[in-house]
A = this chain, B = another copy of it.
Amino acid sequence: MTKSKTNRQFRPVGVPDVSLSGFWGKWQDAVCNSTAETLLDRCVEAGMLRAIDVDQPSPGIVIPIQPWGGTTQMFWDSDLGKSIETIAYSLYRQPNPKLEARADAIIDLYEKLQDEDGYVNAWFQRVQPERRWTNLRDHHELYCAGHLMEAAVAYYQATGKRKLLDVMIRFADYMIKVFGHGEGQLPGYCGHEEVELALVKLARVTGEKKYLDLAKFFVDERGREPHFFTDEAIRDGRDPASFIQKTYEYGQAHQPVRDQRKVVGHAVRAMYLYSGMADIATEYNDDTLTEALEALWDDLTTKQMYVTGGIGPAASNEGFTDYFDLPNDTAYAETCASVGLVFWASRMLGRGPDRRYGDIMEQALYNGALPGLSIDGKTFFYDNPLESSGKHHRWVWHHCPCCPPNIARLVTSIGSYMYAAADDEIAVHLYGESKASFSLANGSEVELTQNTNYPWEGSVEFKVGLKARSNFALSLRVPEWAIGATLTINGEKVDVGSHLVDGYVRLEREWTDGDRLALDLPLALRPQYANPKVRQDVGRVALMRGPLVYCAEEVDNGKDLNAIVLPRQLPAAQTSVLGDLNGAVAVDVEVMREDASDWGTPLYRSEPAKRASAKARFVPYHLWDNREPGEMLVWVQADK
């Protein structure tokens, strides 16, 4: 596998250019039928519309100011933004005039709210107008703006309606005046990254490089000395030393981003920053950013990531702790953080296909992000433990409702993570029943159809639709776990190994309408052991099948899941399809089970528990807590 060194720039295909059915189609239907409207209802119940409606009195401080100096009410714009973005994507799939009208009404409110100078922010226009731009470190102003920008781009692409896009263009133009090194300008950036990647989206949809330049400015300034947050605090009469998060690592502002090599702080912030950095690296072919990003990538994925692609083990900072510290039952592993990891991974693919990123994107998508949503699209996980004694369940809502719209917008826009295009190349990063259209810069018009029951089965068939014979490269990811993967083109076997470039089969040729490819990815059940430095996983094993992490649930296996012991040599597993779990493939394995029934009264004794043969059923982790509630366990005891 050789690393290609070209300066190709891959950009995700537009969400409208991919239509999904099969696995992802079902999830998108759940969002279209339930989540999209639910999100809006909950935002309204929380009072968010009143907050932006200039015809109503200001709501004032509804959620009290917290010790960190702000309130989650300050991020209401972001909740509305992500909800509108979700609605936009849902409208591609399923027109819904009523929902569209509700979104239009919110957009009207934002237009009326916008100041003459272009500024838009519910809190800093309506509750604390005197505090605008006074505390970028804590107050999420640019973060909110970023989410509204993403919503604006999505809504424009979905409906062709420019109103919100124009609002956010005016805001972005105003930001260009506010931020910089000129006289009276702020050389600052947001404590919670987000606006960087949003400005890249705005630049791509408008074709305006100035928004890229502003994003690059925010990336470049971050962590420089003299430190903006310190100067800002002093200007604002706050003691910089009293920062409740103690260190600028919390927001990855402890050193210039190009010097960063260790993933630290708040997990979602980190993912959004690295996503923005990767976008800038792609757009500017900036190798100095890529060098930092590759080091950060390795740091995260080899020392700080759950097997689920969950990241950020600690609730205290919603983020990272020590290397190899991955507690399972108390895992924070916020849904948003894995969504952010998918964002970052997809942007690391901007400089060319590489399964280092594609494999982790898939792992985090299925096992870190997707658990955040229930099958019916109505309830949400915020934190994602890998072990539960039976008390952890999806929420109807959360006091900080960032995760529900985040997983919803990811699910509804998943097509743009599956496929990316460069001038003369198409990359397929994810597999799933779908149809995608590409207009390549070299003039090729391509329609690519995937027929597959992936991830339940490993066979993936492609049909190439062309108006004319075309030259382009098609790169298909061969996951590292897919030992023995095979490929045929029009029935003829292709040697996968000799075509592998960075873990993708790269097929550069003249394609003909109707060309057919058949990729087979063996989905053997495989044990996963953690590096023994992960103290919480020693003596334990997890099961994966294809990209999916499996877990045991009480509903299938009774109580005391920790009594299950998986044999060292994994026995043949039987699979069955569970109709009540979205057609998921369950796996039944012969195991040993410790027997507590004759243990006796004492809590401790000199003899270990007896063992007996038993059968255990494992189901995909992302589907847990969708049936009868109870215990859940990913890492089961391993025989030695």
A327 to chain B, nearest CB (A): 7
Contact residues in B for A108 (Cβ distance below 8 Å): none
Within 8 Å CB of A561, what residues of B? 535
- Residues of B near A596 (CB, < 8 A) are 531-533
> Which of B327, B530, B565, B603 is A530 in contact with, Cβ under 8 Å?
B603
* Neighbouring B residues of A599 by C-beta, 8 Å: 531-532
Decide if A606 touches B526 in the complex (CB within 8 Å): yes
Nearest to A321 among chain B residues (CB) is B389
Closest to A303 in B: B603
Most chain B beta carbons < 10 A, residue from A307, A563, A606, A637: A606
- Chain B residues with Cβ below 8 Å from A295 are none
Say yes or no: B532 contacts A603, CB within 8 Å. no
Q: Does A294 contact B (CB under 8 A)?
A: no
Mask: chain A, 294-311; 1 = CB below 8 Å from B; 0 = not: 000010011101010000
Task: Say how far A242's CB is from chain B's closest CB, in angstroms.
Answer: 16
A603 with B389: in contact, given A532-B609, A539-B540 (CB under 8 Å)?
A: no
A497 to B447, CA, bound (A): 88
Interface residues in A540-563 (C-beta closer than 8 Å to B):
540-542, 560-563
Please tell me if A482 contacts chain B, counting CB pairs below 8 Å. no
The answer to whether A605 touches B327 (Cβ under 8 A) is no
A496 interface hit (Cβ, 8 Å): no
Closest to A609 in B: B532
Select which of B322, B568, B604 is within 8 A of A528 by beta carbon.
B604
A389 and B562 form a contact (CB under 8 A): no
**Which of these, B528, B562, B565, contacts A535 with CB under 8 Å?**
B562
Contacts of A568 in B (CB 8 A): 608
A329 at the A/B interface (Cβ < 8 Å)?
yes
A-side interface size class = 35 or more
Residue of A330, A526, A535 ringed by the most chain B CB atoms within 10 A? A535
A409 to chain B, nearest CB (A): 28
Interface contact B640-A389, CB-CB below 8 Å: no
A549-585 residues with Cβ-Cβ distance < 8 A to B are: 560-563, 565, 568
* Interface check A529, CB cutoff 8 A: yes
Q: For chain A, residues 595 to 617, give those with C-beta under 8 angstroms from any C-beta of chain B.
A: 595-596, 599, 601-609
Mask of A473-514 contacts with B, CB within 8 angstroms, 1/0: 000000000000000000000000000000000000000000
**CB-contacts of A354-393 with B (<8 A):** 387, 389
Is B322 within 8 A of A608, CB to CB? no
A325 to B565, CA, bound (A): 20
Contact B637 A604 (CB under 8 A): no
Asked whether A520 is an interface residue with its Cβ less than 8 Å from the other chain, the reply is no
Residues of B within 8 A of A301 (CB): 603
Residue pair B560, A608 in contact (C-beta under 8 Å):
no
Most chain-B Cβ atoms within 10 A of its Cβ — which of A539, A594, A603? A603
CB of A408 closer than 8 Å to a CB of B: no
A539 / chain B contacts, CB cutoff of 8 Å = 539-540, 565, 637-638
Answer whether residue A292 sits at the interface, using C-beta atoms and an 8 A cutoff: no
Q: When chains A and B are docked, how far (Å) is the Cα of A302 from the Cα of B533?
A: 32
Is residue A115 within 8 Å, beta carbon to beta carbon, of the partner chain?
A: no
* Residues of B contacting A601 in the complex (Cβ-Cβ under 8 angstroms): 298, 302
A236 to chain B, nearest CB (A): 24
With A322-B389, A640-B608 given, is the CB distance from A562 to B603 under 8 Å? no
Kindly state the separation between the CA atoms of A606 and B481 in the bound complex, as whole angstroms.
10
Whether, in the assembled complex, A259 has its beta carbon less than 8 Å from a beta carbon of chain B, the answer is no
A325 CB, min distance to chain B CBs, angstroms: 7
* A527 beta carbon closer than 8 Å to chain B: yes
In the bound complex, residues from chain B placing their C-beta under 8 Å from that of A530 are 603-604
Cβ-defined contact, A529 with B608, below 8 A: yes
Q: Is A538 part of the binding interface, using a Cβ–Cβ cutoff of 8 Å?
A: yes
Nearest chain-B residue to A610 (Cβ)?
B532
CA distance in complex: A561, B324 (Å): 13
- Contact in complex: A606, B531 (CB < 8 Å): no
CA A327 to CA B327, docked complex, whole Å: 11
What is the distance, in angstroms, from A398's C-beta to the closest C-beta of chain B?
Answer: 19
Closest to A307 in B: B604
A604 B529 Cβ-Cβ under 8 A:
yes
A305 vs B603: C-alpha distance in the bound complex, in angstroms? 8
Q: Which residues of B contact A330 (CB under 8 A)?
A: 330
**In the complex, what's the smallest C-beta–C-beta distance from A332 to chain B, in angstroms?**
14
Q: Please tell me if the beta carbons of A602 and B302 are within 8 angstroms of each other in the complex.
A: yes
In the bound complex, residues from chain B placing their C-beta under 8 Å from that of A387 are: 535
List 13 other contacts, CB 8 Å, given A539-B565, A539-B637, A542-B604.
Answer: A301-B603, A302-B603, A307-B603, A528-B604, A531-B599, A531-B602, A532-B599, A532-B609, A533-B560, A541-B608, A565-B640, A608-B640, A639-B640
Q: 7 A-B contacts, Cβ less than 8 Å apart?
A: A322-B389, A529-B607, A531-B599, A532-B596, A539-B539, A539-B540, A542-B604
Top 8 A-B residue pairs of the complex, sorted by shortest distance between their CB atoms: A535-B562, A539-B539, A532-B594, A529-B608, A538-B562, A528-B604, A532-B609, A532-B596
